[in-house]
Every structure is written in C-alpha cells, then in structure tokens.
Chains A and B, each alone.
Chain A
Amino acid sequence: MLSRIAQELFWLGRNVARAEHTARMLDGVFQASLQGRPDDPAGVRLGWGSLLAIMGAQADGRPVRRDEVLNRLTLTRDEPASVISCVSRAREGARTMRDVISAEMWEAVNTTHLALSAGDLEGRMQMGPYSVFQYVKERSALFWGLTSRTMLRDEARAFLVAGGRIESADMVLRMLRVAMPSPGEQAEGTDGVRDGQALALLQAVGGFQAFRRAVPAPPNAGPVARFLLYERAYPDSVAASVDAVHGALVDVDAAPRSSEPVLRLSRLAADLEFRGRAAAEDGNLAEASSLVQSELALIDADIAERYFAGAGAAGGWDRYLVA
C-alpha cells in the first residue's frame, strides 16, 4: 500500500489512542484530587503538575492549578496535546482516507469531532468534566469496536492497529515514569490511604478491575507498576501492546526477518518477558520504564524509516517533537 496512506493510518491510530488515554488520565487524577489523597512524598505521584509533564507541556516552574491543566489538556485547540486537538487530527486523517477505512469508522470519528466542537463544552467541563471524558472514552471504544467489525484485516488495518498500540504503550510508560516513586524511596503503605495514588494510577488507565482479578497483592506502587508493564493478560499493559505492534507488523512486512522494527520489537518483547519474570527481585521499575520507552522511540523511528520513507516523507521526525 502507499506509504503515505500507511503513515496516515498509523497516526490515525495514535491520535485516537492518545485522546482516550488523555481523557482517562485527566479523569483519574481529577477524581483522586477531589478525594484529598494525602501527598505522600514517598508514594505514587499523579498530580496536576505531573500531567503537564506527561503530555510534554510546560508550566515554566509556576505552581500548577487544576482548572488550568484540565482546560489546557482538554479544550485548548492551540495545545497539540489536548484531547480536542487529538480528535481533530484524527478526524483530518480519517477524512483523507475515507476510501480505506469503513464508512462507519469515518462516521464515528467525524461525529466525535463535531460533538466536541459544538455546544458549550466549556460549560460542561465546568459542571463536571466526567461527562466529557466519558464521552471521549466511549467514542474511542466505538471506533476500535467498529474497526474490528467493519474493516478488512489487511495491511491498512495493521498500520492502524500498530499506531494505536504503540501510542498506548507510550502513554502508559509516560504515566508510570512520572507517577512512580524514584528508586530507593518506594514506600509500601499499610493503611491503604497512602497507596491510594496507585489506585488513581490504575483508574487513570482503566485497569482497576483487571488488576484486582489478576494480582493478589494490594494495589501498592510496586505491584501496580509491574502489572502495567509486564502483565500480558491485561490488554493495555506495555508488554501486551508491544506484542500487538509486533504481531501487526509481522503480518504486513514482506520480509519480517530482515525488518529492523520487527527485530527490535521481538527483542523488546523478549526483554519484557524476561524482566517480568525477574521483576519480583529486581525492584528498579523506574529504570526499566525509561529503557523501554527509549527503545520504543527507536522502534517508532524504524517504522517511519522502513514503511513510510518510501514516499520520502519520514525525515526530520524530530521536527514534530514539542519544541
């Protein structure tokens, strides 16, 4: 397929996944902050300042206010990381590929975009951000559901899925890196309240019930981070996302055995498997997250080079970093 289309699909997947993750994350932190969790310096931190950091936005060292972060990361069109920006980029992407994706998928994205642009969104954010986040979550679920029901399982879908999953892995890693305590200050709370930020982290990725069913340990920082990194049975864990990206690329690559991104993904998947088994002894999850994240950045660049460079467009990717 055309490199240009492949790249558009890849980014359509990323933008939909990013919008959903951002909405979940904001919702999780919003609820946790209302409940007045004590800020334990040794516990998990997922506050408003952290959110800006996760999304690569800056606060210039100023104290960060809740309403500012909520509005900036949800409604601000000038903020490329905001939910509304992600959705409108997804919609523009989908519009150029109406022949590739199914009509229902296009409608799902288009309706989401229109609904967020119309009406008094700021008013709704003021009254209760939950309704806005819930909408974004539902629409994203609809999009992926329609993808699995109505889109041919071909190359195009593989790039769409690869984009969505690599974004998922990246977002979870970002949250983990910002929220997790640094090595050496990991505190295992005993009264359940201090660990509440780990609960907030789980809520922010939508993995609370899955964690409960999969892990017998209490939701302290360590078990939560291990779960989000290594638990293959949980679909939004980093390990599961890496597997999914790998699977998608193996399906489309003409020569997967000599494909650099595929080889890197295989190594990363094996590495995650190994680390997951050893994680009980090896406590340094922050370091592991950081390594996995830089490896993902390399994979991302390799994907761009191998599949999208054919049209000569992949160059200078760091132009797209947040300046």
Chain B
Amino acid sequence: MSDLVTADTAAYRPPSGYFDEVFGADGVPRAHAVSLAAEIAKLGPELLTAAGHRRDAIFVQQGITFDATGEDGPVKDRPFPLDLVPRILPAAEWDHIERGLAQRIRALNRFIDDVYHEREIVRAGIVPWRLIVSRSHFARAAHGVRPPGGVYCHVAGCDLVRDADGSWKVLEDNVRTPSGISYVLENRVAMTRLVPQFFQHHRVRPVDHYPQLLLAGLRSVAPSAEDEATVVVWTPGPMNSAYFEHAFLARQMGVELVEASDLVVRDDVLYMRTTAGLRRVHAVYRRLDDDFVDPLEFRPDSLLGVPGLVRAYRAGTVAIANALGTGVADDKAVYHYVPEMIRFYLGEEPILDNVKTYIMADDAQREAALARRAELVFKPTGESGGKGVFIGPATPREALDGLADVIRSQPEKWIAQEVVNLSTVPTAMPDGSLAPRHVDLRPFAVFGEQIRIVPGGLTRVALKEGSMIVNSSQGGGSKDTWVLEDDAGRGAPGASDTQLHEVVPTQMPGLRYGGDWQGQQQQQQQTRPAIGRRERRGVGRGR
C-alpha cells in the first residue's frame, strides 16, 4: 500500500465483483488518482464532515435544492446531495467516451429524421415500423417537417455505466429534456470553494462554458433574418421539480425564462408578451414534453401549451429544441436498435456498446427472458426517472410472477436487460469515513453546427449501501466529475511560471495609498511640491 494513503482512505476496501474507479482491487489508488487519494487522507474525516456541513448551508442559501421522495414521503427543498469526493477520469478514457457519444448522437439524429421522412431503416428491415408507431413519443405532427440544419436532438444526455470489467456501456439515451447540467456546473463551483485543496495536483477541464455552447447551438439553428436570434427557455413553471435548472440555464445564457402564458402565436409566428408589446421568438429551448406543447395538436387538455405553436414550427418560423417528435429516439425499446442504426446510417462500428437488452414484444426473447426473471432487470419503455423498474435479484418471487403476467399482456411496453454491476467510487459517509457507492454518468452534448460535449457530466451516486438506484428523484446524490487534461509535458498546476515582464504593460501606474494624514503633514512641511508637478503626472510609476 502506498505510504501516501493514510487515515480513512486506508480503511477503504473496494467491493469484490465491481470496478472501483479510484482504488484497485488491492486497495492501492489508480495512477491518475494517487494525489487525490492523498489529499483526501490529509483532510481526514472530521474536516470532510465539516466541509459537508458548509456545503449544505451554502446550497440551501443559494436555493440549489431538489424535491425528492424520501422514507417519510416527499421532501421539498432538500439541499442537492453533492458528495465531496470527486469522480476522476483520465484524458484518454474521456476521449473514448466523447467519440462514442458523438457517434451515437449522430446516428440517433439520422434515425429521427428517417422516421419522419423516408423510413429507410424500416424498409431495410432493421427496425419494425409497428414498434416505432406504437411508441408514445412518436409524433404525427412532426411528419415531413425538417428542422433547420436537420438537427433534432440539440441537447442529449446519454446515461453511461461502467461494468465490472471497467468497460463503458450506454444504459439509455435521453434526448427529450435531460436534466442535471445545472448541477454539473454548480457542483464544480461548490467544490472549488469547499475543498480547493483537492484540485491542487490536477488540471481539471472546465465545464462552465456549457451555457455558452447551448446558446450558440440554439442560435445556429434559429431561423432569423438579419438581427440576433431571440432565444427563450420554456419552463412548465415553478412547480416543476427541475425548475431550478430551467432558471439556471436562462440566467446563465442571459435569455428570458418563459411560461406558456408569456407566449402567443400570431399568423404562424411565435411571439412573447413584453412590456413593449409582442416580440418575435426565434428559438425555444423547451423543457416540457411534446404532449404539452400545443393543445391544438397534442393533448387538448394541456394548460401548459401554446395554441398554434406546431403550426408555427411547421411553417419554419421558429426552432424548437429538442425538435418535436425527438422522443421517439428516447425510448427503451428503440434503444435496443441503436448499435444497428450506427452501422446502418454511418457505416461505422459502435464505439460504445449497449447493455444487453431483450425486446419483450419478440416472443422468443420474451420467454427466454421471463424464464431468467430472477436474474434480469425489467423496465417499462415509456417511463423515466427509474419509475416502474424491477430488478430481478432484488425482487420477491411472487412479485416477479405477477410481473410476468403483466408483461405477457402488454409485451410492447417492456424490455429486459442484463444486470450491470455498476462501478463504485469512494463516497463520504456522514461520519467522514469512505464507503464504496455505485455510480453512473450522464454527459451532456449540444448539437448545433456540430456536436460538443462538456468534459465529464453528472455522476449520480446511489447513497444507500449496495443500491444501484442513482436517480435524484429517488434520493440519489451526485459527484463532481473531473476529466483531467492530458498533462504530458506540462508543469504542475498551482504555480504560474509566467514571468512578470511578459504580462505587465509598461505604463502601469503604481497604486496610490492616501488617507495617512500625519504622514502627509510631515511631508508637506518638509517639501512644498514644485510648481512643475503637473509635468510629472501620468508618468508616475511604481517602478
């Protein structure tokens, strides 16, 4: 064991059968995490706990909270649980993930376009048309409409997991309204304030340019004539559990946060109501599902929608991100076909694998999967947030038998997946000790003129021992996720080797310090300044 690792990190044992991202099976930290482990050990359990208390106070003060369902029922305004031990990824590993995600998003985008236009993939017999049209997010209103630039999934947040052998797999694709990016940014700021010493020996890639990427991406797809495109963030309202994030993104981008009542369509053009009358809106980053955007096209009972928005969209006067109908790719049954899509549309081999998935609508696959029902995970296809998921090994036999009947009656609404032994990362317990907890990763991509992915993403962590449910809405926590710079040939951070003569403008005047009345009086008695003082002004420099 490395002599750097003392105190609480010495007591840490990664669980067997899982991949621990900081410590190897022998308890020695992995090469890229050695100095992080040392800093944690140096801090010790007490100071780590103290930093945790400061974090909660700051989060409550700043309103970084989340509504969750706890053991005692719903909890409102709980400080978003950020674990102070970061997750750390070396540059090469991130490079692999980044390429894999970009590839996947390109393929998904082609798929959505195909579904609403030529349907080549259906005619090629790869994805059954019946499956596509039966998806609840399939939008007839999107037929034949091609958004500007041909981009549908402007914002994507695919969930990745790491299996026992350390390989990365895609667990699901979120291309409707993936949440969590605000926590990525806020977590980083909080970490630099709470535990700056952790950063000392690493060069961590910044994440705070995400709002800039998003704004640029939205502007690049906005159908605007000469002047700057007007972009808005559309929220269902303050009652939504992700409202903090909606407000955060609007604030960071410097755009308006609108609700349905602020928007109106006139002659197929979208406007917002301002104190100076109606103002044209060119691009909408909407944070609500298709079903609610326009009562004339989707659910007529939706009070959140804007009547006529779909007409405006079809007329091409407004960009909607993500585009209408994108949800068809955000479906656990369609997910199964993504590797095939990559081969079909891009002619490439998938860089990132799927988790092995079985389609319950397929009789053979279903019966084989149901026979192994105590070993697999069963998921309803149209749900998100971990709702309705049955984990075979953790579910009583009777419940699984009941589930089998439900699945047989509505097979197209279910999939089964192999259990992934999610990797673990050391996580601080209330007493400051470290314990392994399971994590996943949600990186965020913006697709405008090209695909940009923020280094890292939201690492969600299951705070209960042994649990693999990481969803924030079910009490999961999060970790700051570091992607390290490729540090070959660079000096240690913390020191700036910049020589002063390189940066200092030559004419910088010195700082003045006044207010010392005594000193001035003495000065005045000694020398009354020369009349020619004015000539010397402006060149008075410290050096």
Interface string of A171-206 (1 = CB under 8 A from B): 000100110000000000001110110010000000
Main secondary structure of the interface of A (DSSP, over half): helix
* Closest chain A residue, CB of each to CB of B214: A192
Tell me if B16 counts as interface (CB < 8 A to partner A). no
A12-B515, A196-B206 known; A218-B216 Cβ under 8 A: yes
The 7 A-B residue pairs with the shortest CB-CB distance, nearest first, are A212-B254, A11-B515, A192-B209, A36-B203, A315-B529, A130-B193, A321-B510
Q: List 20 A-B contacts (CB under 8 A).
A: A8-B515, A8-B517, A36-B485, A48-B498, A53-B508, A58-B543, A66-B496, A89-B515, A93-B515, A130-B192, A178-B503, A192-B452, A195-B209, A293-B509, A297-B538, A298-B537, A300-B512, A315-B527, A318-B536, A320-B514
| Residue B410 at the chain A interface, CB threshold 8 Å | no
Q: Is A10 an interface residue (CB 8 A)?
A: yes
Query: Among the listed A31, A130, A294, which residue makes an inter-chain contact with B509, where contact means beta carbons less than 8 Å apart?
Result: A294
Tell me whether A128 and B193 are in contact in the complex, defined as CB-CB below 8 angstroms, given that A63-B497, A66-B495, A212-B253 are known contacts: yes
CB-contacts of A28-62 with B (<8 A): 30-31, 33-39, 45, 47-50, 52-56, 58-59, 61
Q: Is A213 an interface residue (CB 8 A)?
A: yes
Contact partner, A128, options B194, B202, B204, B512, Cβ 8 Å: B194
Bound CA–CA A1/B521 (angstroms): 19
Chain B positions 515-543 with a Cβ under 8 Å from a chain A Cβ? 515-517, 520-521, 523-524, 527-529, 533-534, 536-538, 540-543
Whether A89 pairs with B517 at a CB distance below 8 angstroms is no
Q: Do the beta carbons of A48 and B496 come within 8 Å of each other? A: yes
Interface size of B by Cβ–Cβ distance < 8 Å?
A: 70
A178 touches B504 (CB 8 A): yes
Partner of A196, one of B54, B209, B540: B209
| Complex CA distance for A106 and B126, rounded to whole angstroms | 77
B residues neighboring A (CB under 8 Å)? 47, 51, 54, 188-189, 192-196, 199, 202-209, 212-213, 215-216, 228, 251-254, 452, 485, 493-505, 507-517, 520-521, 523-524, 527-529, 533-534, 536-538, 540-543
Residue on A with the closest CB to B189? A31
Closest Cβ–Cβ distance, residue B180 to chain A (whole Å): 19
| A interface residue count range (under 10 / 10 to 19 / 20 to 34 / 35 or more) | 35 or more
Q: Which of B196, B452, B485, B496 has the most CB of A within 10 A?
A: B496
CA distance A96 to B205 in the complex (A): 50
Interface contact A321-B540, CB-CB below 8 Å? yes
Are A65 and B538 touching (Cβ within 8 A)?
Answer: no
Residues in B with CB closer than 8 Å to A298 are 537-538
Q: Which residues of A contact B495 (CB under 8 A)?
A: 63-66
- Which A residues touch B215, using CB under 8 A? 218
A191 to B217 alpha-carbon distance, docked (Å):
11
